[in-house]
Amino acid sequence: MPLCRILCAAPILSCLICAALCREFQISDLGCFVDGTNGVRDVGGMKNIGLTRIGSSEVSQIYDSINCGQMTREVCSSACALGGFQFAALQAAYWCHCGNSYGSQGAAPYWECSDTCSGNWGQNCGGMWRNRVLRLSYTNGNDFFVRGNRNFVELNIPDAPNFTTVSAPSRIQCVSLCSSKSSGCQAVIFSQQQRLCHLLEYAAVPAAFSSESSGDFFPTMPALYRTGMPILSCLICAALCRQFQISDLGCFVDDANGVRDVNDMKHIGLIRIGSSEVSPINDASGAFVGSYSIMTHELCSSVCALGGFQFAALQAIYWCFCGNSYGSLGAASDSECNLACSGNSGQNCGGDYRNRVLRLSYTGSSEDACMNRNVFVPGNRTFVELSVPDAPAFRTLQCAGLPECLYRCRSGCQAVIFSQQQRLCHLLEFAAVPAALSSASSGDFFVRR
């Protein structure tokens, strides 16, 4: 059962939750504008890179124009967003142009942009020499990178897109160079062996670097997010979010002589995840959470995943424990874990002092540093609610930029809050915002995915 690790509600709807957390761009319709006066394009600027495919969508590029037999606003916006453009313009049902300015030839009446899109009759795709112009508003900065799919975009021009090669001692330095590059860097390819950093102006892999041996491919988070065709933020974010598998390990003894078997979670006063309310318990035996009405395998696993724990344990219908070990008190007969979960009668939630133990297996190597294990997405500050003011625990460091802050979030760190203004990096041991950092002015919130 694949589940989104980040801040999941119960029952888990990874699609909706990931969509709420992943960085998005908004499309806004600016109206109808004249194009082609004296052969001049109004919205232009995209170089001919021989774009032939984005995801499963086949397109063709003629000079700076992109054609698609199934053209939609989402297809055009995605093509433009891969290059970091501010505006997308649709024309004559099938055509798309990208640029960073519009309106140089004046506005046109709205009825002159009356052609329906070839891929969606419910959308308007301009008219003859008339552009339906869309603004792409990116919601975060361009200094956020994730590992990319080399084959998602296909080009037929061997030396495209343009790139610059520089020496860099590390991935962090490489992506820092890209985020600070004024000419518009949308992705990098970094070779650890050669210490070479290739800065790409479009989020696609040039033929010269098609081999995996040339280095690892990292688009900016905005560029990677843009690569859905059509853009359906729900589906794209669900694909981007880090997943984990739940496996049932069986029934185990708990609370022998007052000792808990699965018991590594600190008391943070967790009272809500998304729309799911839970009750925090903190007694002499440890900290755990419960729900008299909605406890399920998914809800308990989501609670534990917020802290990066390896195991979740359900007990006596209502209760959930988190930890990084299990079995210290021995196994129990499966028949002793026979109580149905309060939120799903089809699931088993242990028994009296008997834990139904689940393993959370996070996909991706837990040993690879930075750009594999340390992949982050912007988080929703209010998705998790705590009742303990100084929880979760965090430590604060000085960092030059966001990439360094994310790099510092290693073992035991599940999220960061970074203040660009103060250059302060707060490393959180649980993916929730402490009261002391609840103001948006304290910095941007990023959770490990």
Of 316, 331, 362, which residue sits at a domain end? Answer: 362
Q: What is the CATH number of the domain that holds 183?
A: 3.50.4.10
The pLDDT score that the predictor gives to residue 185 is 85
Of 138, 164, 193, which residue sits at a domain end? Answer: 138
The pLDDT score that the predictor gives to residue 1 is 33
Q: Are residues 203 and 110 in the same domain?
A: no
- Residue-wise pLDDT tens for the chain (449 aa)? 333 333 332 222 222 222 222 334 678 899 999 998 888 999 988 989 999 988 778 899 988 899 998 898 888 988 888 888 899 999 999 999 999 999 999 999 999 999 999 988 889 999 999 999 999 887 544 445 655 678 888 899 988 999 999 998 877 778 778 876 555 788 889 998 899 999 999 888 999 998 888 888 877 754 443 333 222 222 223 223 345 678 999 999 998 788 899 999 999 999 988 778 899 998 878 889 999 998 999 889 888 888 889 999 999 999 999 999 999 999 999 999 999 999 889 899 999 999 999 998 875 433 333 233 446 777 778 888 999 989 999 999 998 877 778 878 887 898 899 998 899 999 999 989 999 999 888 998 888 76
CA-CA distance, 22 to 20, in Å (whole number)?
6
Q: Is residue 162 part of a domain?
A: yes
The pLDDT score that the predictor gives to residue 183 is 58
Q: Which domain holds residue 177?
A: 153-227
Q: Are residues 16 and 130 in the same domain?
A: yes
Closest CA to 363 of 224, 241, 267, 223: 241
CA-CA distance, 168 to 195, in Å (whole number)?
5
Q: Are residues 24 and 133 in the same domain?
A: yes
CA-CA distance, 350 to 347, in Å (whole number)?
10
Residues 6+ away with beta carbon under 8 Å from 39: none
Closest CA to 189 of 172, 174, 173: 174
The pLDDT score that the predictor gives to residue 373 is 42
CA-CA distance, 31 to 81, in Å (whole number)?
19
Q: Are residues 416 and 346 in the same domain?
A: no
Q: Are residues 13 and 131 in the same domain?
A: yes
Peptide bond preceding 219 in cis form (omega within 30 of 0): no
Q: Is residue 370 part of a domain?
A: no
Q: Is residue 371 part of a domain?
A: no
Of 194, 227, 260, which residue sits at a domain end? Answer: 227
Q: Is residue 4 part of a domain?
A: no
Q: Is residue 338 part of a domain?
A: yes
Q: Are residues 334 and 395 in the same domain?
A: no
Q: Are residues 347 and 392 in the same domain?
A: no
* Residue count of the chain: 449
The pLDDT score that the predictor gives to residue 418 is 92
CA-CA distance, 227 to 187, in Å (whole number)?
13
CB 8 within 8 A of CB 2: no
Q: Please report which residue ranges of 349-420 form alpha helices under DSSP H.
A: 402-408
Domains held by the chain: number: 4
The pLDDT score that the predictor gives to residue 49 is 92
Q: Are residues 302 and 325 in the same domain?
A: yes
Q: Are residues 287 and 333 in the same domain?
A: yes
What one-character DSSP code corresponds to residue 372? T
The pLDDT score that the predictor gives to residue 152 is 80
CA-CA distance, 52 to 54, in Å (whole number)?
7
Q: Is residue 3 part of a domain?
A: no
Decide: residue 346, CB within 10 A, 0-12 exposed, 13-18 middle, 19+ buried.
Answer: exposed
Q: Which long-range contacts (CB under 8 A, 24 or more apart) does 427-430 make?
A: 427/394, 427/395, 427/396, 427/397, 428/392, 428/393, 428/394, 429/266, 429/307, 429/392, 429/393, 429/394, 430/266, 430/268, 430/306, 430/307, 430/391, 430/392, 430/393
CA-CA distance, 10 to 273, in Å (whole number)?
8
Q: Are residues 91 and 51 in the same domain?
A: yes
Q: Are residues 395 and 337 in the same domain?
A: no
